[in-house]
Amino acid sequence: MSIYIRRVSHHATSVISLIALLVFLPLFLLAIGKTVTLISKATGTAANIVIDTTSQLEPIKTDFYHAFAQGGEENNDMIASIIGDVKALKPKYIRIDHLYDYYNVVGKNGDTLTFDWTRLDAYINSIGSTGAKPVLALSYMPSVIAKDGNIINPPNNWDEWALVVQKTIEHYSGKGERNMPGVIYEVWNEPDLAQFGSWKMGGDKNYLTLYRYASIGANNAKNVNPFSLGGPSTTGLYKSWIMGLVNSGNRVNFFSWHSYLTDPKRFATDQRNIIDWLLPYPTYVLLPKFITEFGFTGAKSKGYGGTFGSAHAAAVIRQLISGGPTYLFSFQLKDGPLQSDGTGWGLITNDDNGLKKKPRYFLYNFLDAMAGTRLQLSGEGTWVTGFSSKKEDTIRLLLVNFDGNGNHAEAVPVTFANLDSGDYDLKQRFLVGRETKTTISVTEASFTTTISMPAQSVLLLELIKKN
Amino acid sequence: MKKFVFILVGIIMLLGIPATVFLSSRNQELRKKAAPATTLSLSPSVVTKKVGEEFTLEAMINTADNQVVASEIQLAFDPTKLEAISITNGIKFPLILVSGTIGSGTASISVGAANTTTPITGSGTAAIITFKTLAATTTPTSITFAPETFVGALGESATNVLVNSIPAKITITSSATAETPTPTPTLSLQTTGTATPTPTLASSSASASVSALQITAPSSSQTLLTDQPTIRGKATPNATVTITIYSEPQTVTVVTDANGDWKYVVSDPLEAGPHTIVVAALDPITNVTKTATLAFVVSDQTGNNATGSAMPISGVVENTLALLFIGLFFILAGAFIPTFMTIRL
């Protein structure tokens, strides 16, 4: 056997090395990235919940999350077929958009604008039947006044846009017409999104101009009940848009934005940010703040069909339970058609898929049990968060295990400190899950238990003193 | 003729200097009146606790003339000595704008009025904070309002109307050491300037009756025309009441009479501006130290004792001295230059 060694030139070696580098370097970097992602997903802090049952904080608000939005996936009254189910959600407000492009409201006779409210009125009537007040996103530009007839363009004549807004407000808030108090008018919907016009804070498609003429129309409305006008209804909370409105000098009764964020803590960060921006503006800092759409992603996702969506919503509400927005609008009430794959945003499936309720539908009334005075709670973790309340002789704890990246399950130690001695009923109720009840005896002023929290679960635990 | 001109110049200078001083002081006066003057204080301002114990402080606001709509309260403290447990809004601020946040050595919350048509005025509790002691102190450790603390008011644009803040001093004894018998305020019980003095959001230990310890004079937010006011109040008979007056702390103790009345005439004249009284007394029945807090303002128009308070607060003594020296220079110049020139002539 002989070994033949062929000498290769330096040039060839260099070329081979370069090719190897080009092939393997991206793979190496990809592997590093994946490893970091996996490690970061897996690392976090486990919860160790301690509730001081004698330390009472502020009253808990349970109204703010009873607000819902319905997108325009069908150009008809999407609520009509689910009025009973929506009414059971005890909605305070229901928001809709596409006012002027779906319901043939605005026409033109020569140079005169004409208004036909018949179809939109039917939709507003359905909203009213649920017990909610409407939030009307003044959108989109009526084609009869829009440049090139395009509903995401500015109007040919801004005065006509002001008139459309004026007539809308006079129709729904007018004492001589629908006579509805407390209607909220939001100027446009997601103006920064290309789909809805790519409006900017300047230039040819200036949102501030769109808003200014809406404000003029609102101010021109005669004989109307109190109503609110605001915006900018952007796809996220953006400082330039909020401060643009503040500095515009126009009528602003509220600030609104949408939040599609997987991390629930980002919702609390947004609240801190907007207050920080507005603190130097005393006449604006207290104005209502509406998150007029929220979810974990703006894209359609099967997560909305299962417990991922309900756990996310619960985790967001936990973040906003103190210092949250005036209203948090869940998007949306009903799926659009042809979404039987379960990717729709709805709390209820579409008529073509049996109007079935998804887990998120059951969350809102489930959370209402937490009404009372908030108790001091410590030891929340990366995935398991919660808040506690006391009402009369019942102490309650809401726990949420939300893992935006995987399927993290956790056994959570829970301690109720400074309890009165005696016997208690301990009830555990999972959202769309099992319910248990036991009796415990407290002798040393505290009670500790371990709760098994499956991935994407929401638990209500009640401790009721027995007489 | 020349002598007449020099005399005329001298007279003008003699008149001009006092006029300049007067106008300058008026200008400072106007600035002072325009200046916002809201104060924040922590109550009780003096706490003694053992290691491992919890206690509650109230962040008290005195808005003075401002119509306050919102406040971002940020507290700073030594994280090796203290741990913040919770922070929430006080009864004076019904809205939590940003949820309370606890950090190592920090606690913050943003609170607001219900709306801009009902801004906050007067005195009361802005926030309630619970702490836990971690380690003994050799000297009292402070809980202070961080410089980022902000108070916004209608008509003041972006100005932070907070001009003064009063910290709390915490003495932490080791758990083996017996607690000192001196009155140890554990919880503020009175929200001054409100019709309902028992804060509904205070912790459960705030159950003592406010009537047991009261400050009856001056009244809340009263503007006093004397810089040595008489402070009166009620407590249980024959109790020792510790009185502390801020901003420059003066602490004295008085004993109540058989009717429970106590009074103290401030001995050191107070500066013009906002002040806070904190009184503490041990309830012999419950053995719990109770405190009461009241804010008041000393007017700069005080008639008696014009020594310290005659100087406008927002002015500085250096300006006035400079003006006096300039005036003196002109007086001397007016006196000597004509003589010198006459001699030369």
Count the neighbouring beta carbons within 10 Å of the beta carbon of residue B27: 13
Identify which of B69, B86, B98 has the shortest CB distance to residue A57: B86
The SS3 of residue A95 is strand
Q: What percentage of residues in chain B have a pLDDT greater than 70?
A: 63
| Residue B58 banded pLDDT, cuts 50, 70, 90 | very high
Amino acid A162: pLDDT: 98
Instruction: State mean pLDDT over B111-127.
Output: 95
Count the neighbouring beta carbons within 10 Å of the beta carbon of residue B8: 11
3-state SS record for B278-338 = EEEEECCCCCCEEEEEEEEEECCCCCCCCCCCCCCCCCCHHHHHHHHHHHHHHHHHHHHHH
| Residue B302 banded pLDDT, cuts 50, 70, 90 | low
Size of interface A-B (CB pairs under 8 A): 84
Stretch 318-357 of chain A: residues touching chain B, C-beta under 8 Å: 321-324
Domains in chain B (CATH in brackets) are 34-298 (2.60.40.680)
Q: Is the pLDDT of residue A384 over 80?
A: yes
Q: Chain A partners of B99 at a C-beta cutoff of 8 Å? A: 268, 271, 321-324
* Average pLDDT score over chain B: 75
Query: What count of Cα atoms within 13 Å lies in the side-chain half-sphere of residue A198?
Result: 3
Stretch 70-109 of chain A: residues touching chain B, C-beta under 8 Å: none
Cβ B72 vs Cβ A279: under 8 Å: yes
Identify which of B89, B97, B153 has the shortest CB distance to residue A58: B89
Distance from CA of B307 to the nearest CA of A (A): 38
Indicate yes or no: CB of B110 within 8 angstroms of CB of A323. Answer: yes
Phi-psi region of B140 (alpha: psi -120 to 50; beta: other; left: phi over 0): beta
Please, what sign has the CA dihedral across residues A71, A72, A77, A80? Answer: negative
Instruction: State mean pLDDT over B217-229.
Output: 79
Amino acid A32: pLDDT: 66
Amino acid A27: pLDDT: 76
Q: Is the pLDDT of residue B25 over 70?
A: no
Contacts with A247 (C-beta within 8 Å, 6 or more apart), sequence order: none
Tokens of B151: 């108070």
Residue A277's closest chain B neighbor by CA?
Answer: B158
Question: For an interface test with A, which of B88, B97, B110 has the most A Cβ atoms less than 10 Å from its Cβ?
Answer: B97
Q: Chain B partners of A268 at a C-beta cutoff of 8 Å? A: 99
Cα radius of gyration rounded to whole Å, chain B:
25
Q: Chain A partners of B204 at a C-beta cutoff of 8 Å? A: 54-56
pLDDT tens for A179-215 read: 999 999 999 999 999 999 999 999 999 999 999 999 9
Tokens of A175: 């004492």
Amino acid B345: pLDDT: 37
- How do beta strands B162-166 and B38-43 pair? parallel
Q: What percentage of residues in chain A have a pLDDT greater than 90?
A: 89
| Residue A26 banded pLDDT, cuts 50, 70, 90 | confident
- Measured between alpha carbons, how far is A186 from A258 in angstroms, rounded to an integer? 12
Shortest CA distance to B121 belongs to which of B62, B49, B78, B73?
A: B62
ipTM of the complex: 0.87
Say whether residue B113 is in contact with chain A using an 8 A CB cutoff: yes
Indicate yes or no: CB of A279 within 8 angstroms of CB of B115. Answer: no
Lowest mean pLDDT among A455-459, B76-80, B329-333: B329-333
Distance from CA of A373 to the nearest CA of B (A): 9
Distance from CA of A184 to the nearest CA of B (A): 18
Tokens of B27: 């200008």
3-state helix, strand, coil in chain B (%, to 5): 20, 40, 40
The SS3 of residue B44 is coil
3-state helix, strand, coil in chain A (%, to 5): 30, 30, 40
Distance from CA of B114 to the nearest CA of A (A): 8
- Measured between alpha carbons, how far is A93 from B147 in angstroms, rounded to an integer? 40
Identify which of A272, A324, A376 has the shortest CB distance to residue B85: A376
Amino acid B309: pLDDT: 31
Residue B204's closest chain A neighbor by CA?
Answer: A54
Look-up: residue for tokens 């939300």? A402
| Residue A12 banded pLDDT, cuts 50, 70, 90 | confident
Say whether residue A24 is in contact with chain B using an 8 A CB cutoff: no
Cβ B96 vs Cβ A323: under 8 Å: yes
Say whether residue A243 is in contact with chain B using an 8 A CB cutoff: no
Q: Chain B partners of A288 at a C-beta cutoff of 8 Å? A: none
Tokens of A283: 């006449």
Contacts with A211 (C-beta within 8 Å, 6 or more apart), sequence order: A187, A231, A232, A245, A248, A250
The SS3 of residue A32 is helix
pLDDT tens for A319-343 read: 999 999 999 999 999 999 999 999 9
Amino acid B189: pLDDT: 30
Distance of CA A366 to the CA centre of its chain: 17
Q: Chain A partners of B98 at a C-beta cutoff of 8 Å? A: 271-272, 275, 323
- DSSP letter at B210 equals G
Amino acid A2: pLDDT: 44
Tokens of B10: 């001298």
Question: For an interface test with B, which of A274, A286, A389 has the most B Cβ atoms less than 10 Å from its Cβ?
Answer: A286
Amino acid B247: pLDDT: 58
Q: Is the pLDDT of residue B181 over 70?
A: no
Distance of CA A30 to the CA centre of its chain: 33
Distance from CA of A196 to the nearest CA of B (A): 31
Contacts with B67 (C-beta within 8 Å, 6 or more apart), sequence order: B119, B120, B121, B153, B154, B155
Shortest CA distance to A218 belongs to which of A180, A269, A168, A183?
A: A168
- Measured between alpha carbons, how far is A386 from A396 in angstroms, rounded to an integer? 10
Tokens of A350: 């579409």
pLDDT tens for B241-253 read: 877 776 556 667 7
